[in-house]
Amino acid sequence: MDVVQSYSIAYKGLKTGIHDFRFEVGKALFEAFESSDIKDGNCVAEVRMDRQETMLQLNVRIRGDVTVPCDRCLEDCHIPIDYDADLIVKFSDEVHDDFDGEVMWLLTGEDELNLAQYIYESVVLSLPYQRVHPEGECDPEMMRRFRIVSGEDFAAIEAAARQREPETIDDSDRDKLARLKARMEAETENDKA
């Protein structure tokens, strides 16, 4: 069975009323959408669907965690996912490509509701802007490489660099440059006159 297809609900045969569904959300779903950020996941999507004659009303709750690279140390970091939203599914004889996150359109003849992309996007949008380990849990070796240098440390680094680099222009070179500059200025003045 296709991974994406396993997130479908065959709603046509269901009676009107409340129906509950549960989907395991893991690495296979993120790989199906070629997620570059999410390496793995261990989430559960619980869907409560109110089947009505003219539409479907869903409440989608996703709980668990996903594995992403830490923005500070680049090691694997587990980020908790806590998503809860309502989704309305309406039916139409025309194709609607506009999905605003709250209303999804299905063609009247369809008999399945596929939630794979909705669940995937909901998890991605649940991720915080900055994805980092709790303070003190980052890889210490990597943190040593990225540590912020204090003003005193920076001054010491600059002084050491000045000692390593010998002066490349000596006084005789400066004199030659000064004479060349004076001659060029004099020629420019003569050209103007």
Predicted model pTM = 0.70
Closest CA to 92 of 79, 73, 75, 105: 105
Is the Cα dihedral 85, 91, 92, 96 positive or negative? positive
CA angle 83, 84, 87 (to 5 degrees): 120
pLDDT digits (tens, 9 = 90+) for 100-144: 668 888 888 888 889 999 999 999 999 999 999 888 888 888 877
What share of the chain has pLDDT > 90, as a percent? 40
Q: b/e per residue, 3-14, with b = 16+ CB within 10 A?
A: ebeebbbebeee
Q: CA separation (Å) from 1 to 7, 8, 102, 140, 167?
A: 11, 11, 28, 43, 71
For residues 133-160, give the mean pLDDT.
Answer: 76
Token couple for 129: 């802007």
Cβ atoms within 10 Å of 84's Cβ, excluding its own: 12
- Rounded to whole angstroms, the Cα distance separating 157 from 87 reads 58
- Rounded to whole angstroms, the Cα distance separating 25 from 30 reads 8
What share of the chain has pLDDT > 70, as a percent? 84
Minimum mean pLDDT range among 87-96, 102-111, 134-143, 180-189: 180-189
Residue 169 has pLDDT above 70, yes or no: no
For residues 57-81, give the mean pLDDT.
Answer: 93
